[in-house]
Structure 1
């Protein structure tokens, strides 16, 4: 070996001889002997992808998927798209029982090399293994006893009531940022009510001695008024509103026509006629 280390050409020849011998043993099904030969070749070239993948294949055949996974990961260190390494990693994961992750790598390899039959077979067998493990979701029917169903429904209702009470206790704040004048135009006579409710929430006595029932009513009122603001902004914006025309009652209008005009108006009329 010392002479081979000093002679690179002899070292290359030894590696090629070991690699070929390992391939021959693998074809014959002598997996343990092939692992020994591939190990000697890998000692010469630790990153040789062919020998790593071939040894991983042998490890899977003798029931050592963890060792196969190590070799597959080593073969992918320099090139993550090496499809043979991806295939052996998927096979090692499948042999370990990690069907979901195996399915992921079979899909990844199929995306890189869709023409290879092995990846399609791997996808099908991984899916079948997953369905056999957890059951087909289309065929699975979970039976819940009526007593347990009632308990779950009661707990759900209790949680909803608690969430609603907690929401009522919290002071209501709106994200709508409008000026007081704009809110007044939108709410009109209800604007005074909104101001009163806001002042009530900020009142010191009310904050020091809160009443849950009153606080819930105040919050409901503010929510309602805020939703009204949003509704009128969308349905009837201010810029689209026509200017209000003051309507004069018919009785009053007829009375104004019969009333005498001021002197200035009469003089202007006479001057215009002359």
Structure 2
């Protein structure tokens, strides 16, 4: 008699397929094939839209692609499934940091640090976010957060950060000026090119459809997008610090017309 086929649990099969897709995407992430990784995470979440591992992993992938808003959304979705998930807390803190919402980011870095004080990633997150606050809106709010951190975590490195934060408060800058200053620190001399191209795209002669300037516009947009990706990359690697000589920066493929 033919052997009876064992019944497959649909939920178990779903979990297996989701895990397989995530594992494949993890491998793409390791070799910096972020677009291919994103495809796998999307497929995994089509199978199971509440899978925390897939949500957190896709959030990280979005950050590396410069899609901070989407990264934040995935992290928040993961936290609705498990509000104490440490990876989701970290991803939300990172996404808020890249969006320039430094105070909220600092709050979640502190939350993660309280829950897992042995993880250096949260301690480093607190430090870089304090630097960002100090460099953008002054130091009074940074001091308040630092004092709380010292009481709760007793890390020796916080004493140094606290002293640095107790400087004279600087005038609050507009959001545009804050972004501009950060761009200059992150892009170095390339910031001048980025500002020029952004202004060029706003030129009335370029935006008119009857000037046959579509190719110029597309080249300019491609260059601006490339520079924005560079800015996001350096924001993650060296938050709020100056770059080395910009000629040594390129790691992503250059625009086709370079």
Q: Pairwise mapping of residues 178-189 of structure 1 onto structure 2 (< 5 A)?
A: none
Task: Pick the aligned partner of 2:120 from 89, 103, 117.
Answer: 117
Task: Pick the aligned partner of 1:129 from 122, 128, 132.
Answer: 132
Name the SS for the 1:75 alignment partner: helix
- The aligned residue for residue 168 of structure 2 is 140
Structure 2, unpaired ranges of 5+:
1-7, 141-165, 172-258
- The aligned residue for residue 34 of structure 1 is 37
1:36-90 deviation line (CA, Å, top 9, x unaligned): 1001001111111111011000111111110000000010012111111000000
Q: Pairwise mapping of residues 177-256 of structure 1 onto structure 2 (< 5 A)?
A: none
The structure-2 alpha-carbon separation of the partners of 1:98 and 1:23, relative to structure 1 and needing over 3 Å to count, comes to same
The number of aligned residues is 139
Give the Cα–Cα distance (whole angstroms) in 1 for the partners of residues 136 and 73 of structure 2: 26
Post-superposition shift, 1:10?
Answer: 4.7
1:154-201 deviation line (CA, Å, top 9, x unaligned): xxxxxxxxxxxxxxxxxxxxxxxxxxxxxxxxxxxxxxxxxxxxxxxx
Give the Cα–Cα distance (whole angstroms) in 1 for the partners of residues 170 and 38 of structure 2: 48
- The aligned residue for residue 94 of structure 2 is 91
- The aligned residue for residue 268 of structure 1 is none
The structure-2 alpha-carbon separation of the partners of 1:142 and 1:102, relative to structure 1 and needing over 3 Å to count, comes to closer
Name the SS for the 2:81 alignment partner: coil
1:104-131 deviation line (CA, Å, top 9, x unaligned): 0000010111110100000000000000
Task: Pick the aligned partner of 2:105 from 102, 106, 109.
Answer: 102
Name the SS for the 1:14 alignment partner: helix
Name the SS for the 1:77 alignment partner: helix
Q: Aligned pair 1:73/2:79, yes or no?
A: no
1:236-257 deviation line (CA, Å, top 9, x unaligned): xxxxxxxxxxxxxxxxxxxxxx
CA contact (8 A) 2:52 2:81 kept: no
- The aligned residue for residue 208 of structure 2 is none
- The aligned residue for residue 15 of structure 1 is 18
Which protein has the larger Cα radius of gyration, Structure 1 or Structure 2? Answer: 1
The structure-2 alpha-carbon separation of the partners of 1:136 and 1:55, relative to structure 1 and needing over 3 Å to count, comes to same
Post-superposition shift, 1:96?
Answer: 0.1
Post-superposition shift, 1:135?
Answer: 2.9
Relative contact order, higher structure (CA 8 A, sep 6+) = 2
Name the SS for the 2:49 alignment partner: coil
1:2-57 deviation line (CA, Å, top 9, x unaligned): xxx99655544432321110111111111111111001001111111111011000
CA contact (8 A) 2:44 2:54 kept: yes
